[in-house]
Chains A and B, each alone.
Chain A
Amino acid sequence: MTTPPHDSLNLARQDAGLSQHELWVRYFALGGMTPALELEAVCHGAMVATEPDHDRIAHALNERFTELGRNHPVPYSEDSADPYGPIS
């Protein structure tokens, strides 16, 4: 897994114009189970998310960037090894 800069998720969240609560709701809607406070800790690099969980956070942020007409700037866990290859 690519290890992002310790607070890169938080920077992306700010860039996407989402509050911590808004990000948590989006992440939760995608099936995430981490409580809001812990998610905040993950975003700040104080806790480490599992790969599936990291990808849910990344996807929640990237869907927001898509809404804003931007590309998907937040990397997923497998991006370093296989940027756009098939998963299955």
Chain B
Amino acid sequence: MTPPEFTGSVRMHDGVALVMLAGELDVDSAPFLSRLLEGALASGARSVVLDMALVSFCDATGLGVLVSASNRQRDAGGQLSLRATPVLLRSLLAITGLTDALATEPVTTAEGILAADLAAAARLPLTRAVLDAALKLVVVMSQSVMAGADGVSITLPRGGRLRTVAASNDTVLQMDHDQYDTGQGPCLDAATRGELFNSSALESERRWPQFVPRARARGIESIMSTPLMAAGQPLGALNVYSRAPAALASHEQQWAIQFAEHASQVVLAAKATSTADSVEKEIFDALLSREVIALAQGVVMTRRHLLPDAAHRFLTDISRHTGKPLIEICRDVVNTTAPESQPGERDTSDVRGGPV
């Protein structure tokens, strides 16, 4: 049965199986994807490429299916890779430590990813970890498209004051801290006043007399801070630093505005699910636990050809009979899937009499 929300097709070309996917990849559509990938792997293609551009949502169960298929393909001497992967799926890979387990082709067009990602941003349960990972990706992508940028960071209010939540390198982080210490600088002004500040020559800059000498001592000569905005109110700032004067021109400014807009959407989506600053630690831990359990569920579904509820029951059953908490069982399952573990290492077969 194919869930109506999710579709996929396989095309063979020159030894490569191209799998086009579209829709929401979740616990309902994961069995369909599992069968589809099984067919692609069985075709003997040495390379399987999954086009993720139209995948609007992916939960941890879906990830589990992808990782399992990737491992099987690698064991068979081939490769499975993702292309056009939306940013939030990359974030999910990052926080679950699976970035290396799934080969992803490099980002080539930031515009396409930004556009495809906004829909996903509103759907993923945005835990603090997902939010921070998503913002880190914004920072990395910003720096990669802005030729003049030597560093990018994002400032947001946390715990009642402004903090750097993502930075592309240490110098940038220190630059932000210089501004928090002195209580002045473009990043603070952008984040509190909601205006863009572009200082193309710090040598002649007079606006922030305590901060500017510190910046120049670190070798920085131009700065641009763009506010993150929501409903006319500033949320934070995206900061771009350069070691060269006048390095941040209109091209960089346009990109900065676009990335700041994107980061604002991500922050807003997190606020909408009320898991940003107000989230209690217990709920946050519970959300992470769910991710790990769903991921393990996806792995078991693929390996044992089980439906979602049966896979969950399978894991619960191990927990029941060993007296180990379910989350620990699931961590073991996920760890045996991660690429760094050796065959047989941390295998859960000892608790049940057969490999998971």
A residues adjacent to B (C-beta < 8 A):
25-26, 28-31, 51-52, 55-56, 59, 62-63, 66, 72, 76, 78, 84, 86-88
Contacts and interface: CB of A to CB of B under 8 A. Distances in A.
B351 to A, nearest CB: 13
20 contacts: A25-B286, A28-B283, A29-B289, A29-B290, A30-B293, A31-B290, A52-B309, A52-B313, A59-B316, A59-B319, A59-B320, A62-B320, A63-B319, A63-B325, A66-B323, A66-B325, A72-B320, A78-B313, A87-B313, A88-B304
Nearest to A78: B313
Contacts of A55: 312-313, 316
Interface of B: 282-283, 285-286, 289-290, 293-294, 297, 304, 306, 309-310, 312-314, 316-317, 319-321, 323, 325-327
A66 B326 CA distance: 12
A58 to B, nearest CB: 9
Given A30-B293, A51-B309, A56-B316, 8 more contacts: A29-B327, A55-B312, A59-B316, A59-B326, A63-B319, A76-B316, A84-B321, A87-B310
B161 to A, nearest CB: 29
Contacts of A88: 304, 306, 310, 314
By secondary structure, the B interface counts as helix
Greatest chain B CB density within 10 A among A28, A52, A84, A88 is at A88
Contacts of A31: 290, 293-294, 297, 312
A52 B314 CA distance: 11
Given A55-B313, A87-B314, A28 B326 contact: no
A29 B286 contact: yes
B317 A87 contact: yes
A44 B282 CA distance: 24
A17 to B, nearest CB: 16
A84 B317 CA distance: 9
Contacts of A66: 323, 325
Nearest to B306: A88
Nearest to B288: A29
A86 B283 CA distance: 32
Nearest to B325: A63
Given A52-B309, A52-B313, A88-B306, A30 B289 contact: yes
A2 to B, nearest CB: 15
